[in-house]
Structure 1
Amino acid sequence: LNATIPFMRISRSVSRYALMVQLSMAVLAGMGTAQLLRRTVADNPGPRLKVVTLLPPLLLTTALLSATLFESWVAPFPMSPPDTPAVYARLPEILPDLSSSGAVLNLPMNYDRPGYLLYQTVHQQPLTVAYISRDDPRTLTERVPLLQHFRHLGPDIIAGDPTTVGLTILQDLGVEAVVLDRYKMPGGQEREYTEALAHSLFAEESARYEDDRITIYSVPTVGQPQPYLMLGALHWGPLRMGEDGNRRRLIGQQKAKLHLQHGSAGQQLRLRYRSVTEGALELFNFDGTMQWQTLPPAPDGAEVTLVLADGQGLSLQASTADGVWIEAVALLDETS
């Protein structure tokens, strides 16, 4: 039932219906007690009920109420303090230049970890990544380079070196501290990729704090922001792996935006796409109000170079309902 009925499937766990079951049992218990009392009266139709006649149902009712109260009793339970590294309380001391609005990026972040919410109760800084119960494609972790790399432990469809634009992205997002927690990375690709990318990003910066578990970096100010691409919040499909090993995202007949940050008019963009069947790829200006190019169907894939005349980005849309796969987008420098 949990896998087939929609309103049950969204709960993710059948145990969440325990409260409704208990309330229903309370109603059934009341109905059963009333029925017992009616039977007692029917069996003893005298003008006045005797105490000995009412005693069995009263005892049964008392026992049921006692059992219900016992089940709901909030008994003292032995507890231990949750695991909170003491270094979070010292964050202002370790990073004296950390502003009150400076966000903390906790790593790893290949999936949402509720522990970061606990740590925030100590350091009181905004969070870059925390915990939500469901994947939301509108969040920046699915849309921005570097965060995409940390999330998927590899590149998304936005091609390029994430360390080149990483500090610019962190500065744009207001991130001032990056914290690596090795206890949350048991090993394998999760630890290897996350640590390698973080160390490469801060290759010219020394860690402000480091022990067996925690490493803390301060995000430096970027003098010359680097241009980078960012996926729009709507109408991009989830990241998928193609049969050829290329990562890709599907777009349909609703305009999906591609933002250009810190870019300039005339910026060149390389785009690789693949039609699902015979659908063409329609390109619009960033606002989506004017169509300026239609790329032909490419069931075997195709790559084109575009010029972003307005320096803001563009909107993409498939001409058919089955959509078009976008396999890679990359900014080109002046020498490309």
Structure 2
Amino acid sequence: MNNTLAVQLLGCEYPIIQAPMAGAQGSEMAIAVSNAGGLGSLPCAMLSIDNMVSEIKRIQAATDKPYNLNFFCHQETAYDDTRQEAWQRLLKPYFAEYGATPKSRPNSANRAPFSHAIADAIEPFSPPVVSFHFGLPNAELIQRVKSWGSKILSSATTLEEALWLEARGVDGIIAQGVEAGGHRGMFLSDDITTQMGLLSLVSQLTQTVTIPVIAAGGIAHHRDIQALLSLGATAVQVGTSYLLCDESQISHGHRQVLQSEVAQHTALTNVFTGRPARSVVNRAMTELHYMSPFAPAFPHAAIEMTQLKALEAQSGGINFASLWCGQNPSGCKPISAYALTKQLAQG
């Protein structure tokens, strides 16, 4: 499964990127995957700068292999008191079940976009690969990252987004099929009807763009990777299959769901953060409606939902938890991320 283009782009032995999964994993998983010959990823979007630096130091101390740092680069939206109060009124009956009331915490949605302050912190490490979700930071920041010798990747969910990224100088495009778990990387439109399956997306992109395409979404087995490479993808990015690994940080309830038939029922929803993301269907999604017009803009919808999640966690509940999962959980295995990477690469 060695791929010359992938080795040139990513610097690793196998054309396999472990998808960065904020809130579900940290440096331990990234280290295991990189040591196995894939590209381990550290999701940085929910980390403070101090925690980010500590995690990068752990990676560099544990492996001399390439790794990927992933960041969100969404446009920040102002906290809207009126919309947030309406959201709180809608959620009030759920809080009442726990004898609680929602609290206004305007600065508690900890998902900061990439900035010069973050760049200052990671520049001394010269990360081999830096990837982005929700588009790209401004041109000045892109040039700064390139000056370190870092390869730049970003997610595209449509051909239009891929062409936009190519025009701005990325080194590779992550083609995120609609099958993928977690947040959609969409950034030129918020219309979920534009989202397409991975095979259709990869086929369009490989025929149109001139830079490497990395396939992501619904990839669970060695044969899936072979099929996508034969379609023209340079590499793949795998997320959901790693969620049961020893290094995963998801909750016990989330683990149980992934090992049950319930995981076959996923949908796109904005109720957890304000942006479309694929989760296993639960009470919050069905009762609030999958794509709620009342959900505050990203990431402010997460303020109250995080409070509800914490309240029900005391009893092990998962009705208000974001159970990120792609459409193909068949690759989930309770083994080390190192072993899973080898299985994906070697069959």
Q: TM-score range by the shorter chain?
A: under 0.3
The structure that has the greater radius of gyration is 1
Task: Answer 1 or 2: which has greater strand percent.
Answer: 1
State the TM-score, normalized to the length of structure 1. 0.23
Task: Answer 1 or 2: which has greater helix percent.
Answer: 2
